[in-house]
Amino acid sequence: MKNYRNIGFVAAMAMVMSFAGCTAKSGGTVKIVSISPEPYTTIRVGDKVDLKVEVEYTLEKQDAVVALTVQKEDSSSLGTAEEKIKKGSGRITLRSTFTVPETRIVTAFVPMRLQGYNKTQIVDSRTYNIAPKK
């Protein structure tokens, strides 16, 4: 139940933000620097997708977790991956494989969750429009 609350919060935060690579007063940044497939790629219901996201981050304070959360339009999860990071900056690659369900959009969220906090304002995202099954 706890994970569903966090996923919903991340989705809401991503909608509020209108730019990529959010910086928060909490001491970090996260930015998607490459994503495969590209968001303009035609993805259809029923397709198996191997999502690969390269993320650039900076972390000024404590340890954190950078995650990849893939959701359909009702905010239900299609896949997740995460990696622990230490203070400093760097790049990591996160992957998630999923089959596209009946939906109009799929969004890949990349939040940074600081150690000791359940919520985040540090998130980047990309959205895919989904085509009907052929």
What integer pLDDT is reported at residue 33 of this predicted model? 98
Q: What is the CATH number of the domain that holds 16?
A: 2.60.40.10
The confidence score (pLDDT) of residue 119 equals 82
CA–CA distances in Å: residue 53 to residues 12, 25, 67, 108, 117: 21, 25, 10, 9, 24
Domain encompassing residue 99: 2-131
In the predicted model, residues of the chain with pLDDT beneath 70 are: 1-26
Instruction: Determine the pLDDT at residue 121.
Output: 85
How many whole angstroms separate alpha carbon 79 and alpha carbon 82? 11
pLDDT at residue 25, rounded to an integer: 53
Q: Is the pTM of this model over 0.95?
A: no
Q: Left, alpha or beta for 27 (phi > 0: left; psi -120 to 50: alpha)?
A: left
When divided into structural domains, the chain yields a total of 1
Those residues with Cβ within 8 angstroms of residue 15's Cβ, 6 or more apart along the chain or in another chain: none
